[in-house]
């Protein structure tokens, strides 16, 4: 009976701790397009730790927002390559 109680306590602590991980709200691409400071901060965090963060929704959405802003500023025009 003692082993069962210990196992129950350990399992309860593990379940509780797994829910304690701080998660930030997921922002949309459109949100990142209109919030420049937050987009830059998110991209900086993602670039500083790509192994852990690059595949997270906010990193993907912030990067997509950056790409859309770049393309809209170029009006979809791809620059011609420079010939040497």
Q: Express each pLDDT in 18-70 by its tens digit.
A: 444 568 899 999 999 999 999 999 999 999 999 999 999 999 999 999 999 99
Residue 83: pLDDT over 80: no
What does the pLDDT read at residue 21? 53
Residue 54 near residue 81 (C-beta atoms within 8 A): no
> What pTM was computed for the model?
0.64
C-alpha count within 13 angstroms, C-beta hemisphere, residue 40: 3
pLDDT at 15 over 90: no
- The residue extents of the domains of the chain are 25-75
What pLDDT score was predicted for residue 40?
Answer: 97
Residue 18's pLDDT is what?
46
| CA pair distance 70, 3, nearest whole angstrom | 60
């Amino acid at each position: 009976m003692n082993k069962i109680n210990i196992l129950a306590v350990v399992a309860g602590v593990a379940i509780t701790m797994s829910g304690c991980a701080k998660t930030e709200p997921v922002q949309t691409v459109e949100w990142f397009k209109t919030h420049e400071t937050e987009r830059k901060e998110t991209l900086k965090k993602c670039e500083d730790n790509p192994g852990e963060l690059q595949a997270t929704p906010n990193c993907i959405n912030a990067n997509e927002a950056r790409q859309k802003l770049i393309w809209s500023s170029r009006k979809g025009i791809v620059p011609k390559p420079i010939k040497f």
